[in-house]
């Protein structure tokens, strides 16, 4: 049984079986050959959320999951296997929008994307057949500026050239909110420049851009490159946003309806992996050694020490955070001011760890 705290949240890890993992064909294959317990499989409940004790296949769309700290912990520390999950990654998922599109098209059962990207997707498709079930990690957004420009305030970005990977990515949305809070028009105050990741170093070095708005690990790698001589103007790992989730896990409504045991298993596996991370950073960094482009284990550990780990809201905590994001997107005109943010957050999320008789 999962031990619970007074709020009904999973607090301690289930005992983990030590069994082999298989990796084949670029897809993570977890528990293809199940180690059978001597005891007959039994139903395990978490606050009446059904864990059926059966193996489940799960197709997951997660941008760059192979270099994700949380994904690697869940896979390589047997958290997926603990819950009898056979997780297979979708290939070619480059960003949150790709992940959401895969799930919407039925190519994935679950998807990981920034909350801001999920909200934009619901704006485009109000009947999106997905519910957000948990936050996965805090944001690592960093706005880096060239030191010699002596930019000290957000207001100093007026007329400056800021590089981003894509105009619709959460990086730009996050810093657009910051600009709007400072009374600036995020669409016209700076000049946004779209660049692929392999051109950003050269653009900074040549001075063709003045700043970059990115997230880790690329943002951290740029910040630690002395040749680029950039400094961090603002980020999401300190202050107001430090405890706010960035990524959220969305599950297909078909999965929630037809295989709730698989849905609960995935949430608990990722929840426990997220809470393992803060006290096992060195071990987690070793799991990523060689998996993050341009970064070795020591550099990864340094990056993790400058991030906020263990952020994984579920239930009402998740709904509260989603509602705050909705309020902030109202500042950008992407939601009407009349919208009830709390009601909207409840509509697009699901508390699958809550007793069934109390669910809305």
- Model confidence at 253: pLDDT above 50: yes
Residue 290 is predicted with a pLDDT of 86
For the stretch 184-211, pLDDT in tens is 999 999 999 999 999 999 999 999 999 9
Q: How far apart are CA 360 and CA 356, in angstroms?
A: 9
The 3-state DSSP class for residue 173 equals helix
φ/ψ of residue 205, rounded to 5 = -65, -35
φ/ψ of residue 53, rounded to 5 = 75, 10
Q: How far apart are CA 206 and CA 200, in angstroms?
A: 10
Instruction: Say which residue the tokens 């060689």 belong to.
Output: 290
Q: How much is the average pLDDT of 137-160?
A: 95
**Nearest residue to 308 via CA among 139, 157, 88:** 139
- Model confidence at 46: pLDDT above 90: no
Q: What's the angle, vertex CA 250, arms to CA 248 and CA 23, rounded to 5?
A: 90
- Give the DSSP letter of residue 81: H
Q: How far apart are CA 159 and CA 136, in angstroms?
A: 35
The DSSP element (H or E) to which 89 belongs, if any, is: strand 85-89
Residue 53 is predicted with a pLDDT of 84
25 dihedral zone (left: phi>0; alpha: psi -120 to 50; beta): left
Residue 112 is predicted with a pLDDT of 98
Q: How far apart are CA 243 and CA 232, in angstroms?
A: 19
Residue 320 is predicted with a pLDDT of 97
The β-bridge relationship of strands 85-89 and 56-61 is parallel
The 3-state DSSP class for residue 252 equals strand
Q: How much is the average pLDDT of 140-164?
A: 96
Residue 355 is predicted with a pLDDT of 52
- Other beta carbons within 10 angstroms of residue 32's beta carbon come to 11
Q: How far apart are CA 124 and CA 119, in angstroms?
A: 9
pTM, two decimal places = 0.84
For the stretch 175-186, pLDDT in tens is 999 999 999 999
- Per-residue burial over 165-175, b = 16 or more CB atoms within 10 Å of its CB, e = otherwise: beeebbbbbbb
- Model confidence at 300: pLDDT above 70: yes
- Model confidence at 40: pLDDT above 80: no
Residue 338 is predicted with a pLDDT of 97
Q: How far apart are CA 89 and CA 67, in angstroms?
A: 13
What are the CB-based long-range contacts (under 8 Å, 24+) for 93-98? 93/61, 93/62, 93/63, 93/64, 93/65, 94/63, 94/64, 95/63, 95/165, 95/166, 95/169, 96/63, 96/169, 96/170, 97/121, 97/168, 98/61, 98/63
Percentage above 90 pLDDT, the chain: 78
Residue 242: exposure state from Cβ atoms within 10 A (0-12, 13-18, ≥19): middle
- Model confidence at 89: pLDDT above 80: yes
Q: How far apart are CA 360 and CA 350, in angstroms?
A: 9
Q: How far apart are CA 255 and CA 263, in angstroms?
A: 7
The β-bridge relationship of strands 27-29 and 22-24 is antiparallel
**Nearest residue to 250 via CA among 78, 141, 125, 91:** 125
- Model confidence at 303: pLDDT above 90: yes
Q: How much is the average pLDDT of 336-346?
A: 97
Instruction: Say which residue the tokens 């895969």 belong to.
Output: 102
């Amino acid at each position: 049984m999962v031990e619970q705290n007074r709020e009904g949240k999973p607090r301690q890890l289930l005992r983990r079986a030590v069994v082999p993992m298989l990796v084949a064909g670029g897809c993570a294959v977890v528990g293809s050959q199940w180690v059978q317990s001597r005891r007959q499989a039994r139903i395990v409940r978490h606050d009446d959320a059904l864990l059926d004790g059966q193996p489940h296949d799960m197709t997951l769309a997660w941008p760059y999951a192979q270099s994700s700290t949380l994904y690697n912990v869940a896979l390589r520390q047997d958290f997926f296997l603990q819950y009898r999950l056979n997780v297979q990654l979708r290939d070619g998922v480059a960003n949150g929008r790709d992940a959401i599109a895969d799930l919407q098209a039925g190519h994935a059962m679950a998807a990981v994307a920034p909350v801001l990207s999920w909200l934009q997707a619901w704006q485009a498709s109000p009947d999106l057949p997905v519910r957000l079930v948990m936050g996965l990690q805090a944001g690592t957004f960093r706005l880096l500026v060239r030191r010699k420009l002596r930019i000290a305030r957000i207001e100093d970005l007026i007329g400056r050239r800021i590089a981003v990977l894509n105009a619709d990515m959460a990086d730009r949305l996050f810093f657009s909110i910051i600009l709007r809070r400072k009374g600036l028009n995020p669409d016209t105050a700076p000049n946004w420049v779209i660049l692929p990741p392999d051109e950003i170093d050269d653009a900074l070095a040549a001075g063709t851009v003045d700043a970059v708005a990115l997230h880790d690990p690329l943002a951290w790698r740029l910040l630690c490159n002395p040749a680029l001589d950039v400094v961090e103007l603002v980020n999401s790992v300190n202050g107001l946003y430090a405890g706010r989730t960035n990524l959220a896990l969305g599950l297909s409504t078909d999965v929630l309806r037809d295989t709730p045991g698989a849905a609960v298993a995935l949430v608990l596996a990722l929840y426990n992996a997220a809470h393992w991370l803060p006290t096992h950073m060195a071990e987690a960094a070793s799991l990523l050694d060689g998996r993050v482009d341009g970064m070795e284990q020591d550099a990864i550990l340094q990056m993790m020490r400058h991030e906020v780990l263990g952020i994984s809201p579920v239930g009402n905590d998740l709904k509260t955070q989603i509602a705050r994001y909705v309020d902030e997107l109202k500042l950008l005109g992407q939601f009407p001011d009349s919208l009830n943010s709390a009601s909207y957050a409840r509509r697009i999320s699901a508390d699958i760890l809550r007793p069934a008789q109390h669910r809305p």
